[in-house]
Amino acid sequence: MNKPFAITLDVGSSLANLTGSWRTSKPVYVDRIPPCNMTCPAGEDIQGWLYHAESGDYRAAWEHLMRENPLPAIMGRACYHTCESACNRGQLDTAVSIHAVERFLGDLAIKEGWLITDKAPPTGKKVLVIGAGPSGLSASYHLARLGHAVTLCDAGPLPGGMMRFGIPKYRLPREVLDAEIGRIVALGVELKLNTKIDDIPKAMKDGGYDACFAAVGAHLAKRVDIPAPDAARILDAVSVLRHMETGEEPPMLGRRVIVYGGGNTAMDVARTAKRLGAEAMVVYRRTREQMPAHDFEVREAEEEGVVMHWLRTVKQVDEASFTVEKMTIGADGWPQPTGEFETIEADTLVLALGQEVDTTVLSKIDGVKVTRDGTIQVDQGMMTGYPGLFAGGDMVPSDRTVTVAVGHGKKAARNIDSWLKGASFAPTPRHGLATFERLNPWYYTDAPKTVQPTLDILRRRTSFEEIHSGLDETNALFEARRCLSCGNCFECDNCFGVCPDNAVIKLGPGKRFDFNYDFCKGCGICAAECPCGAIDMVPEEK
């Protein structure tokens, strides 16, 4: 009875041993980094938290997201989501609306009162963080979770930095901002407002701090010399937006307002002026295509009635009129004056020509170097030339966005933690990129992304209500499930089902698969049929 069975095994084994000589290549399972993760300045594992969200486990998705970014409800609104520009699904139909799902998770966490409770035991180390903007808040959060005692100081009356004083309420409601800051403070972070630090080494010594992270925002408006009488009303965009936030009497803008500049701040202040009842105009010396403001900001401003004057530069200001010169784009791509002038009637000029950081508090410290553009030089670990003093956010050379600042705070926190332990922080090596060419999109049906509801145009022009609404649970779940899991196995069972040799071994839920090379002939069908490109065919070793 047992003999035939023994013979079958023996024959199968002998045949299997021959397959190695047949193969020129064999399949191996790989992990690749999806383009959304690769491009996220905050270093989020986007695909990781989307995996939990698409299964409906929103708490797990939020907790996974919070490993890297403590401000998901803010980021879902204020981030310019470069991840979506890189999303492979955009080459199939439309990119996954990652920011909308992130916002859904962040808003749900606020509604449900979710808190982060897991943190390392106290280390006995104290860290001073200067600046309660996105970078300082991020650093404080990660340092607190690592077990360090954190004191967060800010010279202003309210926390949030440029998220509060630079982003209008119609883009970022203050109850959302306050809720996410409150969660960070609940971790044990000591928040001190109206506290300006003028001497960092002294503050560190007097407070017994072992390290410091400086993240002062770009609150100083750039100026330009324009001939103008004393009676002319010339304001700066930062001050206008700040007055809107502090509860002070908003500046008298008059009936007609010119905003001079072409960045996102120019769009924000022009749209704010429109909501205050003024006729808002933007004057910019280049073309729309050259404008640094994001396209959706310009489009929404135009929808709300903001008038754009391209290829114009302000030359002179009178009490109620402005002389502008027409410009043209030269062969070198730079704007050139034409000698042609025109007059625009307006009551106020608001300068939105960019912001600078006051680096005085750091530049006078021994060992700290200031770059040619006025920012602070830091090493790969974000430490300045003064031992134990780190810097990030607007203070260092980088793009000035909320997402970049959050990423700086996390990176600084991890390097501070390693430095306090007498070690160097070593980031985990990254896998290769999961490109669209590696995917098999025929396994996916067309499913264009869900469009977020938008406030009607009349209410947008006359109120500071939030413009874009969030997704409900049904839409958020649908959107999360549009993720293609680029480059990483999600256990779809395709390889298991198509293998003609039964060489694929299921290891159990969450453990993925393995190959039995005694049976594999190296035909490559598994790699060809893997939807997410998680199988490579590699040369057979002889």
Cβ neighbors of 450 (< 8 A, separation 6 or more) are 97, 100, 471, 475, 478, 479
Q: What is the pLDDT along the chain (542 residues), one digit of tens a residue?
A: 443 433 333 334 444 445 556 788 999 999 999 999 999 999 999 999 999 999 999 999 999 999 999 999 999 999 999 999 999 999 999 999 999 999 999 999 999 999 998 999 999 999 999 999 999 999 999 999 999 999 999 999 999 999 999 999 999 999 999 999 999 999 999 999 999 999 999 999 999 999 999 999 888 778 787 877 766 788 999 889 988 887 666 667 889 999 999 999 999 999 999 999 999 999 999 999 999 999 999 999 999 999 999 999 999 998 788 999 999 999 988 999 999 999 999 999 999 998 888 888 898 899 999 988 889 999 999 999 999 999 999 999 888 899 999 999 999 999 999 999 998 888 888 899 999 999 987 777 778 888 899 999 999 999 999 999 999 999 999 999 999 999 999 999 999 999 999 999 999 998 999 999 999 999 999 999 999 999 999 998 76
Report the pLDDT value the prediction gives residue 7, as an integer from 0 to 100.
34
- Of 106, 104, 89, 46, nearest to 477 by C-alpha is 104
- Cβ–Cβ < 8 Å for 97, 450: yes
- Cβ–Cβ < 8 Å for 100, 79: no
In angstroms, rounded to a whole number, what is the distance separating the alpha carbons of residues 391 and 511? 41
- Of 87, 371, 44, 33, nearest to 391 by C-alpha is 371
Report the pLDDT value the prediction gives residue 18, as an integer from 0 to 100.
52
In angstroms, rounded to a whole number, what is the distance separating the alpha carbons of residues 374 and 291? 23
In angstroms, rounded to a whole number, what is the distance separating the alpha carbons of residues 152 and 157? 13
In angstroms, rounded to a whole number, what is the distance separating the alpha carbons of residues 535 and 439? 10
User: Residue 26: phi, psi to the nearest 5?
Assistant: -135, 155
198, two tokens: 């003028």
Cβ neighbors of 90 (< 8 A, separation 6 or more) are 84
- Cβ–Cβ < 8 Å for 490, 532: yes
In angstroms, rounded to a whole number, what is the distance separating the alpha carbons of residues 313 and 336? 10
Q: With b meaning 16 or more CB within 10 Å and e meaning fewer, what string describes 319-353?
A: eeebebbbbeeeeeeebeeeeeeeebebbbbbbbb
**Domains defined along the chain, listed by start:** 3-31+489-539 (3.30.70.20), 38-114+439-462+470-480 (1.10.1060.10), 126-219+357-420 (3.50.50.60), 221-354 (3.50.50.60)
* Whole-number Cα distances in Å, 265 to 35, 120, 378: 29, 39, 27
CA atoms within 13 A on the CB side of 124: 1
Report the pLDDT value the prediction gives residue 13, as an integer from 0 to 100.
41
